[in-house]
Amino acid sequence: MKPLPKSQHPARNDLYPSRKWGVAGQVRLRKDPVIYEGSNAPPSLELTQMDTYKKQGFIVLDDLFSEQEVHLFKSELDALKQSKSICKSGEVITEPDSNEVRSVFRIHENSRLFSKLSRDKRLSSIARYILGDKVYIHQSRANYKPGFRGKDFYWHSDFETWHVEDGMPRMRALSVSITLTENHHYNGPLMLIPKSHHHFIACDGETPKGHYLRSLKKQELGVPSDNHLRALVSRGGISAITSKPGSIVMFDCNVMHGSSSNISPYPRSNLFFVFNALSNKVEDPFCNLPPRPEYICTRRAISGI
């Protein structure tokens, strides 16, 4: 008799069950540290900033990249969007109602410039410090969010999806968003719920096969209930990040976040890198489905930074 795959093994320990029978709506206290503090603190970071990250779940660092660098990144993005081989690869996601490009995935592999950027010490030194380990890129992408018709991203915790659909075992990952255009309060900026990363909210529903094909256009599963959101916001409020190009937002994998639609003429464009601790590599998905493709979740091409 063939042994059960790991994911279906009854003894497999799921610390953060979600989208499973009987767990919807359960709120669990986070079982993992927010800051692991394994390596030395990077000199660029002040202690108060780390304190903010720990308490709120995110920090904003202004002007981390120069105007010239931002200019280079933007040209590279335009080139990627027009690359026929990338468009054919399925790594380009369009808006739900139009053919406008919403995201391009796996930019740390598709572009030499972004590959170098993903290993840039300004980012990786902070990531290594917070996660207390060597890191690797779990996912990378460029978000275009065009003007006029940019749709909203509904509230979600990235970790909930990465855990259920990718099999990321623990909360030991973080996201870095590098803004390439000015983020005004009126062009659908990233909105985060401070302090929401301290709890894990189990979501309703069952993940269907190939769910990522829809969820990358519009997130409908893996979203918490109205009552849970109300409670989180009444405790932590909402922070809408307005910033200049070249700034970064670094946020914990379990912070609840989303963004409104963008009817302004100004696109909201950013680069997005997810750093995961090497000791926290993905396993079999917890939803008992085949893993999502490599361009959404690095499973094979893992290289430590």
Interface ranges with a copy of itself (CB under 8 A): 147-148, 152, 154-155, 184-186, 188, 191, 226, 229-230, 233-234, 238, 240, 258-266
In angstroms, give the least distance from the CB of 281 to a copy of itself: 33
Q: Which residues contact 161 (CB under 8 A, 6 or more apart)?
A: 215, 222
In angstroms, give the least distance from the CB of 58 to a copy of itself: 16
Q: Which is nearer to a copy of itself, 146 or 285 (CB)?
A: 146
Q: Which H/E stretch holds residue 84? A: helix 84-88
Q: What is the side-by-side order of every strand in the sheet holding 256-259?
A: 153-157, 256-259, 191-192, 239-240
What residue has token string 């998905």?
285
Q: Nearest to residue 223, comparing CAs of 274, 258, 173?
A: 258
Q: Which residues contact 99 (CB under 8 A, 6 or more apart)?
A: none
In angstroms, give the least distance from the CB of 266 to a copy of itself: 8
Q: Which is nearer to a copy of itself, 78 or 226 (CB)?
A: 226
In angstroms, give the least distance from the CB of 283 to a copy of itself: 32
* Interior angle at CA 170, CA 251 and CA 142, nearest 5: 40
Cα dihedral sign for 66, 77, 161, 264? positive
Q: Which is nearer to a copy of itself, 8 or 186 (CB)?
A: 186
In angstroms, give the least distance from the CB of 241 to a copy of itself: 11
Q: Which is nearer to a copy of itself, 5 or 237 (CB)?
A: 237
Bridge-based pairing state of the strands 191-192 and 153-157: unpaired
Q: Which residues contact 131 (CB under 8 A, 6 or more apart)?
A: 36, 38, 172, 173, 174, 275, 276, 277, 280
What residue has token string 């799921």?
14
* Interior angle at CA 110, CA 290 and CA 289, nearest 5: 5
In angstroms, give the least distance from the CB of 242 to a copy of itself: 9
Q: Which residues contact 51 (CB under 8 A, 6 or more apart)?
A: none
Q: Which is nearer to a copy of itself, 24 or 238 (CB)?
A: 238
Q: Which is nearer to a copy of itself, 15 or 238 (CB)?
A: 238
Q: Which is nearer to a copy of itself, 45 or 238 (CB)?
A: 238
In angstroms, give the least distance from the CB of 238 to a copy of itself: 5
